[in-house]
Amino acid sequence: MDAIKHRKTQKVLANSPWTPSLTEVEREELVQELLTLAAAAPYHYESAAKYRTDLTSELPFRCYVADAVRCRAAVDFASTEEVQAGKIGQMLNAAEVLLVVTWLPDTFGEPVESREPIPFTGNLRNMEHLAATGAAIQNMLVGATAFGYPNYWSSGGVLRFDPMRTHFNIPTEEIILGTLFIFPKDAESRADEVVPGKLRDKGKALDTWSKKV
């Protein structure tokens, strides 16, 4: 419960690349823990068969994992490609792990478009695929919080689009729901800046969004 209450957005900004704080073994252990938490989320419908090629799971989401070295390389790539990565670049300088989480829209026979299929077909199945993916993401954020790693759920900014999207090999027919930044435990003391979530304290009074019926 405490981890749920204490989870909060922390955009950790670093103006230059940080040396990773975890060993490869430690990072792999963390990633496996977080992925296991994501897989524990409820889900209602299996992914469409067409998505089960490279990654074969029935889960309606996928997770693409980039370690610290890969994140720093992406900053270099963005610079070479003249991508204005802004805060995303600063967070890639600091991140211990980046988890790009996509969900897999059912298109019911419609051809898969050559780019992220937004707007997707509005129906119950897609709503529930999306909801399951959100639950999986939240599990990972709460888990990261419980393990002591500052974290942030971003829409992805420049990571959603080429050339960054292709750089990270994110399939175009999947929809990115979140790019999750997991920062080192001591990030707050090292960061050039830590930016909190804008809406952190907004709308929280229980009687403003719930009532007896």
Chain positions contacting ligand FMN, by CB under 6 A? 8-9, 153-155, 178, 196-200
Q: Which is nearer to ligand FMN, 5 or 212 (CB)?
A: 5
- Between 14 and 22, whose beta carbon lies closer to ligand FMN? 14
Min separation Cβ 199 and ligand FMN, Å = 4
Strand partners for 10: 196
Closer of 204 and 211 to ligand FMN (Cβ): 204
Tell me how far, at minimum, the Cβ of 198 lies from ligand FMN, in Å.
Answer: 5
* Alpha carbon separation from 61 to 26, 56, 162, 206 (Å, rounded): 25, 11, 21, 31
**Shortest distance (Å) from residue 53 CB to ligand FMN:** 27
Q: What are phi and psi of 176, to 5 degrees?
A: -75, 120
Q: Strand order of the sheet with strand 175-182?
A: 61-67, 97-103, 175-182, 151-154
Tell me whether the omega of the peptide bond preceding residue 163 falls within 30 degrees of 0, making it cis: yes
* Least distance between ligand FMN and beta carbon 131 (Å): 12
In terms of CB distance, is 9 or 90 closer to ligand FMN? 9
State in angstroms the smallest separation of the CB of 137 from ligand FMN: 8
Q: Tell me whether residue 68 or residue 137 sits nearer to ligand FMN (CB atom).
A: 137
Nearest to 197, CA basis, from 153, 141, 132: 153
Which phi and psi (to 5°) does residue 101 adopt? Answer: -110, 125
Report which residue's Cβ sits closest to ligand FMN.
Answer: 197
